[in-house]
Structures are given as structure tokens and as C-alpha cells.
Structure 1
Amino acid sequence: MTHVSRTDLNVAAWRKSSYSNQAGGDCVEVAEGFTGVVPVRDSKDTTRPGLVVSDRAWSAFVGSLK
């Protein structure tokens, strides 16, 4: 699995879920551009550390939501 440092996550280009809204619902952001992994964080509190999951685990998670 690719190593992702805290610095990498601080400068990452985060993309908010299309299901996020201004009402403060359960929101998630993902960062793109990392090989083999997907960084994920809570868009309501971006100061907390993100989680890094394998791209295969992320694909399985997203697929289970459809």
C-alpha cells in the first residue's frame, strides 16, 4: 500500500460528496491522485485526521451503496 503522510493529506485536493448539502448532513470528502489508496475525511471537521483505505476497499464500499 502507498504511504501517505500527514503533509500529503494537508495539501491534497479534496472533493466533497455530491450528497453533501448546506444543512450539515453526513458528509464525506475524498482526495484523488494517490496510487492504490483513497484518503477519506469528514467534511464537517477537516481538522481531524483523514483515513486512508485501499482503492479496492473504497470501490467495494461505494459499490455496496448503489
Structure 2
Amino acid sequence: MRLYSQASYDSYQAEFQKIGAQTNKYLQIKDTIGADINDLVMPRYQFQIRELCFRIKTRLSQLIIRQAG
């Protein structure tokens, strides 16, 4: 990504770090909260990272195609 668009790379990197920090904060307390709350919260973090990865893949594909065209 960085080779094709430094701005996109920086933006996605910042978003990835934010999600990582939020997830790390949650993981620090995960074992002290009830399973019912964990069952609600964990899918949210999993969705966030999957959705970010999908957007990165899509953007990188767009950048590669644009350069090839």
C-alpha cells in the first residue's frame, strides 16, 4: 500500500493502531467481566478488524488497477 499511496497507507495504519489499542484495552479486562458481555463485545472487535482488512484490500486493488491503466 505504501508504494502506491503514502496517504492511504498512513490513514489505514492510524485506523489499525486505533482498533489495536481498543482491542488491547478490552483484552486486559476480558477475564474479569461476564461471558454475556464478552459475547457481545468480542464480535464487535472482530468485525472492526475484518472490515478494515476488507477496505485495505479493496483500496490496494483500486490503486494497482489505476496504475496499470
TM-score by length of 1: 0.29
Quick one: higher RCO (CA 8 Å, sep 6+), 1 or 2?
2
Structure number with bigger Rg: 2
Structure (1/2) with the larger helix percentage:
2
Structure (1/2) with the larger strand percentage:
1
TM-score by length of 2: 0.28
